[in-house]
Structure 1
Amino acid sequence: MKTIILSIFFSFALTAGFAQSEKEVKIKTSAICEMCKERLERNLGLSKGVKEANLNLDDKVMTIKYNPKKTDLASIKSIITNTGYDADEAPADQKSHDKLPACCRKTAAPHSDGKH
């Protein structure tokens, strides 16, 4: 019986430890369409320490779950700006922005028809 109780306790302790090691942040972007969403989610997903990245196109807010032992907010924002998009108050890297398809640049009209 002691073994079962100890096993349950350690399982709970390990699970609680993993949950505490994950953080979530929301960052406002200049993304416009599904192509922007796919590009940002892919680039963030390939980054060390990022566990999940999801862009809500309705409000242009990117929700990122990450391991703070492997990355930080500044690095995450840098990935977004180096992909060519604004990240909260940090402006997009101009060269990266200029390489985006014309329909994904800040000056493009909002669209969601997937025809670009």
Structure 2
Amino acid sequence: MKQFITILALLILNVTFAQDKNARATIEVDGVCGMCKKRIETAAVKTEGVKSAVWSIQTHELALIYDESKTNLESISESIAAVGHDTQAVKASDEAYQSIHGCCQYRKDEAKAGH
């Protein structure tokens, strides 16, 4: 009976770990303020498969938890660039960048100095 319970427990643990498709990653995203934080995190989380996104104003790092079977870092970066923020992998188009609020335009020295 002990052997049966041990084997059953191992099988359950194996199935549980096999189903975990979540990956953790950190990417660099340009921005300067709380409005940027909200925009970046919202864009990331709206990407199918992203479960968590937390961006640090101080370090410019976006900590992600995502389902690797549904998305990848390139897709997440594209979603963020589409709302005006550069990532390591994808630069926002000029049109997307110009659409963000003036105080959020991180490419300008005045915006950086103001925060």
Which TM-score applies when normalising by structure 2? Answer: 0.82
Identity of aligned residues (%): 25
Map 1:42-53 → 2, pairs under 5 A:
42-53=42-53
DSSP 3-state at the match of 2:19: helix
Q: Which amino acid aligns with 1:87?
A: T
Answering whether residue 11 of structure 2 is matched by residue 15 of structure 1, we say: no
What is the number of equivalent residue pairs in this alignment?
110
**Closer, same or farther in 2 for the Cα pair 1:42/1:3, shift >3 Å?**
farther
CA contact (8 A) 2:53 2:64 kept: yes
RMSD over equivalenced CA pairs, Å: 1.8
Separation in 2, partners of 1:10, 1:35: 47
Unaligned segments of structure 1, at least 5 residues: 112-116
Q: Which has the larger radius of gyration?
A: 2
The aligned counterpart of 1:34 is 34
Moved segments of 4+, more than 4 Å: 1-4
Are residues 1:88 and 2:91 paired?
no
Q: What is the one-letter code of the residue matched to 2:17? A: A
Instruction: Provide the rounded CA distance (Å) in 2 between the counterparts of 1:7 and 1:58.
Output: 48
Per-residue Cα deviation, 1:56-105 (whole angstroms, up to 9, x for no partner): 11110111111111011211110111110011142212111111111111
SS at match of 1:27: strand
Q: Could you tell me how far apart the structure 1 residues matched to 2:23 and 2:76 are?
A: 12
Paired position in structure 2 for 1:114: none
Q: Deviations over 1:20-70 (max 9, x none)?
A: x12122111111111111111112112111111110111101111111110
Aligned partners of 1:37, 1:94: CA distance in 2, in Å? 19
Normalised by the size of structure 1, how large is the TM-score?
0.82
Q: Matched residues in 2 for 1:10 and 1:42: separation?
A: 38
Which consecutive unaligned segments of at least 5 residues does structure 2 have?
none
Residue pairs, 1:46-61, within 5 angstroms:
46-61=46-61
| Equivalent in the alignment of 1:62 | 62
